[in-house]
Amino acid sequence: MNTALVTANPQGAIGLRSIAGRVGFLPALLVLLVAGMSAVDPQFYGIINILNILRNASLLAIVACGQALVIIAGGFDLSVGAVVALASVVTAKTMAAAATAFPGNNALIIASGMAAGLGSGAVVGLVNGFCVAKLKVSGFVVTLGTMSATAGVGLMITNGIPVYGMPDIFVKGFGRAQALGLPTAVHVALVIIIVMVFAQRRTLFGRYVYAIGGNVDAAIVSGVSIQRHVVGTYVVSSMLAALTGILLTAQVGSGQASFGGDRMMLQSIAAAVIGGVSLRGGVGRIEIVAISALFLTILGNALNLLHVDSRLQPVFLGVIMVAAVALDELSRRSKARV
Amino acid sequence: MSDLELSVAAKNADRSKLAPGRWLWSAALPVALVALLLGFAAVDRGVLSPANLLNIAQQASYLALFAMAQTVVILTRGFDLALGPTVSMVSVGTALAMAGATASGHGTGSVLLAGLAAGFLLGIACGLFNGVVIALLGVNPFVATLGSYNIAIGVATTLSSGRPVQGVPAPFSQIFYGGSVFGIPAAIAITVGVGAVLHWTLTRTVFGRSLYLIGTNPRAAAVAGLPVKRILIATYVLCSGLAALGAIMMTARTGSGEPNLGGALSLQAIAGAVVGGTSLAGGRGGVGTAVLGALFITILSNGMNLTRIDGYVQMVVLGAIVIVGVLLDRLRLERRQ
Amino acid sequence: MDVEIDPKPAEPLLRLRGISKRFTGVRALDRVDLDVRAGELHVLFGENGAGKSTLINVVSGTFPPDEGTFHFGDEEIHHLTPQRARTIGISPVFQEFSLIPSLTVEENLFLGREVTHGSVLRSREMRKRARALIDELGFDLDPAQRIDDLSRAHQQMAEIAKALLGRVRLLILDEPTASLTERETGRLFELIARLKSQNVGLIYVSHRMREIRALADRVTVLRDGRHIQTLDAAGSTDGELVELMTGRRIDLLFPTIAHRPDKVMVDIENLTLADGSVQEVNFHARAGEITGIAGLVGCGKSELIRAVYGIEPTASGVIRIDGLPYEFPAPRQSLKRGIAYFPANRVAEGLALSRPIRENASMTVLDLPAFARYGVLRQAAERITIADIMERLQLRPPNIERSVGALSGGNRQKVMLARALTRELTVFLFDEPSVGIDVGAKLEVYQFMKRLVEAGAAVIVVSSELPEVLALSNRLYVMHHGRIAAELKGAEKTEQNVLSSFFRDHLAAEVA
Amino acid sequence: ETPWFPMKVYDASSGTPKPAEYTPLPKAEKPYRLCVLFPHMKDSFWVAVAYGIVKQAEAMNVNMNLYEAGGYENLPKQLSQFDDCMASGPDAIIVGAISGAGLSKKFEEAKAKGVPVVGVTNPLPPNALPAANYVDFVAMGEVTGAGLLAQTKPGDKLNIVTFPGPAGSGWAESFNEGFKKAVAKNPNAKILAEKFGDSGVAVQLQLIQDALQAYPGMNVIWGTAPTAEAAIGAVAEAGRSDLKIVSSYENQAMLDALNRGDILAFATQYPVGEGAVAIDQAVRLIEKKPVMSLVQPIAAVIDKTTVPKLQMDLVLAPASWTPVYSVKAK
Ligand SMILES: Nc1ncnc2c1ncn2[C@@H]1O[C@H](COP(=O)(O)OP(=O)(O)OP(=O)(O)O)[C@@H](O)[C@H]1O
Ligand SMILES: Nc1ncnc2c1ncn2[C@@H]1O[C@H](COP(=O)(O)OP(=O)(O)OP(=O)(O)O)[C@@H](O)[C@H]1O
Ligand SMILES: [Mg+2]
Ligand SMILES: [Mg+2]
């Protein structure tokens, strides 16, 4: 008897709109790009190239996942690039120090290095979270500040000089290792994406992150503790950035304050936004963000394989980025009016 | 409206009442500025020397101009990541045009004209691109301006082959850098003039009023019949136009077209605007906030340079101060009620 | 010994004493007392800004009172938080929704009280319970739908359902019917009766006298943040209540409007909207009369006038304004042609809250030479004009430089109405004109419309409050499923007729 | 400590470089105040220049303050730092210019105020300053090209991809140009592509990975030090031990890599020496003593055979040294 009252509203319209709104056409665009590249250049689907793409996409995806989480909660994390660098040098320095203190004890050396790297990320995340949640300064400004400060600390530690002295096993057995035919970074990224997707869909934390980003006031009156979860998003974001820093360190074999930087920060936000995360908060899904990271990586790879002049590459990148999002936006608009 | 919204709304200026102590708080940032200056002066007397004060004013005038450009778009809830690369592109374009005009034997007047025209055209083109993509295609400002960020970098390095472009005629630098109005150096004079006009535009014109209304509630502005899209496009054009002016002034300062002139300017300009009290949520800020923020950052780094604080420590201090500045601003607004 | 059996009423469920709450510059509550008994519906009555919502917020733990004591059941409560309030059984339905637009109905119902295993959500369990609750309430809601895909009415249902999840001892309803139509309102009233019989205490806020009459056991009148009187509903008249509320005598009747239908100003032929919410509608409105549109939730009545104004895309059909075809409606064009629209959701679509009243009132006229020449504002003229208009509309407090966000609902509506007086207009489209505003302000709005019509304007009123459209309109359209179901004139214009058009095919379905 | 001087340099004051030996003054007459501007201190190259400056300032007993602009994207910041230096009233300024052309107005201003300015390490427009010492980047690029050709057996084909550094930095373009000029002398050498990109290891790594795919025929990687550093791992991973890696400048990593045999060669311009010479030039200018107005350190390609003869204390700061940003005269 209730259903008889359902209105003139065409349910179909909502269905289509939700699909357009929730998946976007990024996956389609990705398929198109992959198909096009495979047709044009057989190098593209060479196994080594694919592994390169996957590894680089993984590194970006890990940072972008954390970034996405912060943006979904209504924030912004500009400090991720700097954290990548800080974690790299802290990890390398710690391992070098541990290696001289406990020579040969590789497990201890590696564990202490990774703990220090992740710890440095956690500290930056906590500072960000504290300033945003407790002092109520906007996330953009806080992370703009910590970006500068973190980069400064990273450089203070190293003076910009690469840090060596990590155990070989860390580089060969972790950074450059492959398992099941895939580089370590890919495995790590897959685990993180799965965990994050699960967290987003099935845990209180994920639910509250959506709620806070969707409407803070409503979340407050519904009894959601805002501060804890906001701090949580920044800590997760920073720790994922730190993890990326560690993976890069392991891969390259040295701790570098030049890792990350503005570029990584901009790319991670771009990946999140192109992956359908709304800068207004409350909307976005990790798996699409991961796809978007893959899309951006392949795009860069494609421009290189197609021998596009490296000075002109940014122009193509910019145009394609804008076009992709504009098309997505337009398709969503027209579908909403079926 | 919920009471929570009310409390948010109530944070905003309510000009009807003047509570005691409000003046003090509304002056929080200027007071902090003076305190900062005096603090540095205690370490090094040179900070307060007339030469250095003029130096600060001159440096701040460039940043203030860029912060004003950002403020205009931030008022409408946007921002312009492409501002820095726009500056680079305009610098290269201006220099190339002037070098070209000189080479083809034109007189000084037409050489300068060619440079200015090329610079502003490039700036306006960039602004149009941003505006059209954001207002008509509905792409969010972050992606749109990140796109034009990349494009402008590509254009700047391609046009210049990555090298500084020589051949900027001396009169150009003399006018836009060396010149002075009533003894005030050109950069300061231009910024003050532009700031005054912009302030007037923001407070006294339909366009300015529309910016605040759109930034506060874009939906309501559209329903009330404001031409939101047109205004947004104009806003981005204005922003890039101001950036182009800044780029021209900086090109005069360097005496060459620099393909990497604006590398780090986008975020610095946003920081300048925001530290001064412009709200990223839109609808709050103005020329005053931009100038205040620019002064704050300039005084800080000048002071740290003169008091010999190490480069990396400066980065840490600057980061902390940006947060503290905005925190002060928030407290000021809360205290104001 | 003299044994008197004193039928002493049970200890009240909620006992507030001397509650004060001060916001900067305003004393929102000034030593207010309130008792709510179990099984009673207690109405809070007062003008816009009297402090009703503030009191409710104190009761539901959103913010702490500055002073006063708070007893719930047998306990004295200190430091109440929203979470704590819910666990002890205080459940608020807020005036402005506490819903997350990007989450589904079900996710919203359980927000803050999720069923979990560790911290992993148990979605199936929650879905089952959400379904059961919605079925029990008899709401037409799909728990899997996103809030931002719902109409306001459906959002209101979700909000109510959210409050009723779990054990409720005190239910607080802040203007719950403001965006419900008759049918949902009926459902809600049944529900209220059921809750009362289960000994749940209710606090109810409404500006609709009819509801207060129908539901209230006791009424507490607030004025300017002060407790004026608590009285038994049965022993008081409407006039009495309104007099207590405003401190003056107000005639509660709808104004008599002299309709003098003239030429057709708005003529719609076969209009279908792009989203299908309005289909093949024929409609016209004349100058000199009020044309009403009534209909169930989601029937497309709002969309119809929004399309005329140019904020809903049309698919086919013709709109004529004053005889001339109006091809691509857009707000700016509409205003130029003399059409004004007053949105139902003033916060989202009407006002820029942190800007001054003056700027909000003049928002629609910045293109006129009286307000701006060559793009330069004439601020002195603006100030004088708007101050004058706001004085005529009796803005309280009469200061046009305050930000609109600091105003009560009724005064915000006045700011919207001011726009009608700033430029030459001939067609006025009102969407839920009296939603959320107090009795006094409502009458002022009705008077306002009366003046407009009598001056020869064409006024179209879309409303979910049936008595309102019935009383105001000269002709009344009833919409159903996006189509016009009936056009009622003169004596046909009865509540019975409207309701039967609402449910015509519903009844037909039941017969079949 | 063995003194760094006399240092073999070219004296290019007259326009044509002539071999010469550089020997500094033993002490400054007064504890002058010197201001030093660097583009950044983010790699061991600039740390090496700083080391030379600090050691020589201590040796000559002058005051020194060093400012770094934070990177090549910060020309406006360097301009401001120049102004700040001028405002602090120095006796001379030493500049590692982000863009020589971009600072030319500042040089004029300093000249007008009578403050001598010395250019260090980064090239400047001709006659921009009363004294400078730097290698011409084009020449240095040429040296690396020549070094590569010297190690190539006649008849071997060279398929080169260059990774000069960030587009728009100026120095990357100049290095690249010089390298191409030198390589063009061998008909068997072909430049397949030029890949500009930020000179961080992570960015360069991605570029190299892509280039390995895009140019399967590539057998020489020429680029910045971070490029070479990134290339070592990438090349090993791709199993392309036949690939030759040449770095266009020096740092600690390059030295280690060369010793391990991971790279073919790197170029050096003796940055520590450059820093030291700059201090001496500045003091000479202040004291109006005769000064070699353009000193060009003799850029050299270092490979396995030449590395034992390398005067290390002119190339890198000791690993134990941490940069100091100011020196106080006693
Ligand atoms: N968070 C706040 N900050 C400042 N003032 C507030 C706040 N909340 C309420 N007020 C003020 O307190 C007074 C009481 O407001 P309240 O919302 O309780 O009124 P109300 O009776 O619910 O009105 P309405 O019928 O319009 O809903 C008003 O003057 C209002 O402006
Ligand atoms: N049962 C429903 N489920 C989902 N969405 C609905 C439903 N009913 C309505 N809607 C949404 O609401 C829109 C129309 O609802 P709306 O309430 O605005 O119409 P209305 O006729 O103005 O009713 P009212 O003025 O009473 O709110 C539809 O286009 C649709 O998007
Ligand atoms: Mg209320
Ligand atoms: Mg409606």
The arithmetic mean of pLDDT across residues A47-60, rounded, is 90
Neighbours of D287 (CB within 10 A): 14
pLDDT at residue number C252:
67
- Cβ separation of B306 and D87 shorter than 8 Å? yes
Chain B residues near residue A313 by CB distance under 8 angstroms: 154
- The token pair at B134 is 């954001």
Q: Is D21 exposed, middle or buried (0-12, 13-18, 19+ CB in 10 A)?
A: exposed
pLDDT at residue number A334:
62
pLDDT at residue number A91:
95
Q: Do chains D and C touch (3 or more CB pairs under 8 A)?
A: no
- Ligand nearest to the backbone CA of C408: 1
Among A18, A203, A208, A215, pick the best mutation site for testing chain C contact (most C Cβ within 10 A): A215
User: With a cut of 70, which residues of chain D have pLDDT below it?
Assistant: 1
Structural domain harbouring A143: 51-292
The per-residue pLDDT for range D126-177, each reduced to its tens digit, is 888 999 999 888 888 999 999 899 888 888 899 999 999 888 778 888 899 9
Nearest to C307, CA basis, from C299, C298, C315:
C315
| Gap between the Cα atoms of C43 and C208, Å rounded | 11
Q: Which residue among A9, A16, A17 has the greatest number of ligand 2 atoms within 8 angstroms of its CB, and so is best to mutate?
A: A9
- Cβ separation of D253 and A257 shorter than 8 Å? no
Name every residue whose Cβ is closer than 8 Å to that of residue D285 and which is 6 or more positions away in sequence.
Answer: D92, D116, D118, D130, D131, D291
Q: Which residue among C22, C24, C53 has the greatest number of ligand 1 atoms within 8 angstroms of its CB, and so is best to mutate?
A: C53
**Per-residue pLDDT band at B1 (split at 50, 70, 90):** very low
- The token pair at C287 is 């100058």
**Per-residue pLDDT band at A23 (split at 50, 70, 90):** low
Compute the distance from residue C303 Cα to the ligand 2 centre, in Å.
9
**What are the strands, taking DSSP E only, across C333-452?**
339-342, 372-373, 376-377, 427-431
Q: Which range, B42-51, B113-122, B282-291, has the best average confidence (pLDDT)?
A: B113-122
Chain D residues near residue A56 by CB distance under 8 angstroms: 206, 209
- Cβ separation of C82 and A14 shorter than 8 Å? no
**What are the strands, taking DSSP E only, across D224-310?**
244-247, 265-268, 294-297, 300-303
Whether B19 shows a pLDDT value over 50: the answer reads: no
Compute the distance from residue C53 Cα to the ligand 3 centre, in Å.
4
Q: Is D303 exposed, middle or buried (0-12, 13-18, 19+ CB in 10 A)?
A: middle
Torsion of CA A220, A226, A227, A233, to 10 degrees: -160
C26 lines ligand 1 (CB under 6 A): yes
pLDDT at residue number C1:
41
pLDDT at residue number C506:
53
**Per-residue pLDDT band at B43 (split at 50, 70, 90):** confident
Q: Which residue among B6, B14, B17 has the greatest number of ligand 1 atoms within 8 angstroms of its CB, and so is best to mutate?
A: B6
Chain C residues near residue B16 by CB distance under 8 angstroms: 399, 401-402
Chain C residues near residue A337 by CB distance under 8 angstroms: 274-275, 313
Whether B5 shows a pLDDT value over 60: the answer reads: no
- The token pair at D223 is 């680029």
The per-residue pLDDT for range A283-330, each reduced to its tens digit, is 899 999 999 999 999 998 898 888 888 888 889 989 988 888 888 778
Question: What averages of pLDDT result for each successive group of 10 residues across chain C (512 residues)?
Answer: 45 89 82 92 88 90 89 88 88 83 91 86 90 86 88 84 89 84 80 90 89 90 90 86 80 84 93 91 94 86 94 93 92 94 90 93 91 91 93 86 86 90 92 85 90 93 89 92 90 85 60 46
Question: In this structure, are strands C339-342 and C26-36 parallel, antiparallel, or unpaired?
Answer: unpaired
Number of domain units in chain A: 1
Query: Which sign, positive or negative, has the C-alpha torsion C497, C501, C507, C512?
Result: positive
- Cβ separation of A325 and B139 shorter than 8 Å? yes
| Gap between the Cα atoms of B293 and B322, Å rounded | 9
- Count interface pairs B-D at CB distance under 8 A: 122
| Gap between the Cα atoms of A232 and A211, Å rounded | 14
Cβ pair D115, D83 in contact under 8 A: no
C49 lines ligand 1 (CB under 6 A): yes
Does A10 fall in a domain?
A: no
pLDDT at residue number B335:
64
Among C97, C99, C100, pick the best mutation site for testing chain A contact (most A Cβ within 10 A): C100
**Per-residue pLDDT band at B10 (split at 50, 70, 90):** very low
Does A76 fall in a domain?
A: yes
Does A110 fall in a domain?
A: yes
Does A37 fall in a domain?
A: no
Compute the distance from residue C479 Cα to the ligand 4 centre, in Å.
12
pLDDT at residue number A182:
85
DSSP A267-334: HHHHHHHHTT--TTSS---HHHHHHHHHHHHHHHHHHHHTT--TTTHHHHHHHHHHHHHHHHHHHHHH
- Count interface pairs A-D at CB distance under 8 A: 101
**Per-residue pLDDT band at A24 (split at 50, 70, 90):** low
**What are the strands, taking DSSP E only, across C302-426?**
314-321, 324-325, 339-342, 372-373, 376-377
> H helices then E strands: how many in chain D?
9, 15
Rounded (to 5) percent helix, strand, coil in chain C: 35, 25, 40
C409 lines ligand 1 (CB under 6 A): yes
| Gap between the Cα atoms of C350 and C478, Å rounded | 26
Q: Who among C347, C355, C359 is closest to B5 (CB)?
A: C347
DSSP A72-100: HTT---TTHHHHHHHHHHHHHHHHHHHHH
Nearest to B58, CA basis, from D80, D95, D123:
D80
pLDDT at residue number D1:
62
**Window from B13-27, B128-142, B147-161 with minimum mean pLDDT:** B13-27
- Cβ separation of D210 and A301 shorter than 8 Å? yes
The arithmetic mean of pLDDT across residues B156-182, rounded, is 88
Where are the alpha helices (H) located in chain A, listed in sequence order?
11-23, 26-40, 47-72, 80-101, 106-133, 139-158, 168-170, 184-202, 204-214, 216-221, 226-252, 261-274, 286-305, 313-335
Of how many residues is chain A composed? 338
Where are the alpha helices (H) located in chain B, listed in sequence order?
3-11, 22-26, 28-43, 50-75, 83-103, 108-131, 141-160, 170-173, 186-204, 206-216, 218-223, 228-254, 265-275, 287-306, 311-335
Cβ pair A247, A54 in contact under 8 A: no
Nearest to A166, CA basis, from A204, A222, A114, A244:
A114
- Cβ separation of A221 and C82 shorter than 8 Å? yes
- Ligand nearest to the backbone CA of C149: 2
C54 lines ligand 1 (CB under 6 A): yes
What is the reported pTM? 0.89
In order of B332, C54, D133, the CA distances from C63 in angstroms are 22, 9, 69
Does A308 fall in a domain?
A: no
Ligand 1: nearest atom to the Cα of C49: 19
Chain D residues near residue A307 by CB distance under 8 angstroms: 193, 214
Chain A residues near residue C120 by CB distance under 8 angstroms: 202-204
**Per-residue pLDDT band at B18 (split at 50, 70, 90):** very low
Cβ of A8 under 8 Å from any chain C Cβ? yes
- State whether residue B222 is helix, strand or coil: helix
The arithmetic mean of pLDDT across residues A4-18, rounded, is 41
Q: Who among A214, A222, A337 is closest to C102 (CB)?
A: A214
| Gap between the Cα atoms of A220 and C62, Å rounded | 8
Whether B20 shows a pLDDT value over 60: the answer reads: no
Among A322, A327, A329, pick the best mutation site for testing chain B contact (most B Cβ within 10 A): A322
Question: Is residue B278 left, alpha or beta, with left meaning phi > 0 and alpha meaning psi from -120 to 50?
Answer: beta
Q: What is the mean pLDDT of chain D?
A: 90
Question: In this structure, are strands C458-462 and C290-295 parallel, antiparallel, or unpaired?
Answer: parallel
Residue D239 is given by DSSP the state: T
| Gap between the Cα atoms of A272 and A67, Å rounded | 7
Sheet holding C339-342, edge to edge: C339-342, C427-431, C458-462, C290-295, C475-480, C483-489
Compute the distance from residue C179 Cα to the ligand 3 centre, in Å.
14
Question: In this structure, are strands D117-121 and D131-134 parallel, antiparallel, or unpaired?
Answer: parallel
Question: Is residue C481 left, alpha or beta, with left meaning phi > 0 and alpha meaning psi from -120 to 50?
Answer: left
Chain A residues 302-321 within an 8 A CB cutoff of chain B: 309, 311-319, 321
**Per-residue pLDDT band at A102 (split at 50, 70, 90):** confident
**Per-residue pLDDT band at B6 (split at 50, 70, 90):** very low
Cβ pair A37, A273 in contact under 8 A: no
| Gap between the Cα atoms of B68 and A333, Å rounded | 33
The arithmetic mean of pLDDT across residues B323-337, rounded, is 74
